[in-house]
Amino acid sequence: MARSFFSVVLLSLVASVVSVQVGKRCTLRPLGAGKDDTTQIENAISECGHFGTTVFEPGVYNVTRKMTWDLVSSKVELHGYLSFKPDIQYWLIAENTYRVVFIQNQASWFVVTGSDFEIDAFNTGGIHGNGQTWWSYYATRERADGDGRPISLTLWKTTRAKIKNFRIESPPFWSNAVAQSSDVLYDGMFVNATNTDPLYVGQNLVWNTDGIDTYRSERITFLNWDITCGDDCLAIKGNSTDITAKNIVCRGGTGIAFGSLGQYANMTDIVQNVNIENVKLIRLDPRAQPNLVNGVYFKSWTGSVNGSPPNGGGGGPGRVSNVTIKNVQLDGPSTPLHLYQTNLGHPGDAPSRLKFSDIHFINWSGFANTSTSTCFYSQLPVCCYLF
């Protein structure tokens, strides 16, 4: 029954995305090294972002300030890269970014919103975040959620959209976020967060470079992803429902995450109807990325409140249910499966208010760096089918 349900959701989504009218056409070319392309990009999107096609010819487009694309019944052909200037102090000023991702007050420098649109980057274009500047800067400084490091690509209040054959190189923080959105298909996403600073060879310098975080969104599909990062490959956060992920390669990092959940005491987090299939988790050369922490893990805050978000909290209720994760190949994660309900907890905290049920792990193979494959149980039974 669950398999049939997810197949119907996926086929319905693909069939409904995207109805594009292409009456108008705008074509851009990069202005050249050292020149600012932001204004010409905004003008083209303003002209052709509704009921038209915007074409970015190959090359590098320099973006120097926060940018929103409002797209309606339109298409963007992105053959080149949007390169966001590596000016850390500029981006850390709150008004220079958007704060549309509510959870943990995360910052975004590029927000796409609207309906019935497609962005196709043809595997030759996307976003360059110039993340090495950020990673090396934060190697000797404290990092915290909500500190202003920007998400590379944020879909916000989006319905019936498709992101296709997109590349995100060197993201300073999360590569993608989809928030308050529905009926979104990502088909083909390449993410590469790899340190090249010789001072930090063998260290995980690229914390928080998640492949994507979902939040308050439904009917979201990920197909054909290849992610190299130092944190969550996929992160399914609160109120994410009807999520499908197929053909996912995770290279390094902390694995596929459900959570964190229960951070906000006055809000209920619900994650349900999640189907993840055909996943490879690959340990990299430790000189490039030393971590492959988990295969799949579930994490919630305790039932006590310790501080306040974005970096404290807890006490929130919720549930995770109807989850299937199948056809998983493990190449040496430290913990293939991990369910813990004490995220940033303290001795004596109340038990987590999150309930986990109807979770299935089917057809897993490979090996771990530990002697046993562990499954941690929550208050309600979790079904574990391993190896």
Bond prior to 310 in cis (omega within 30° of 0): yes
Handedness of CA 257, 227, 242, 247 (dihedral sign): negative
231 an active-site residue? yes
Q: Please pick, among 231, 232, 269, 349, the residue that the annotation labels catalytic.
A: 231
* Residues noted as catalytic: 231
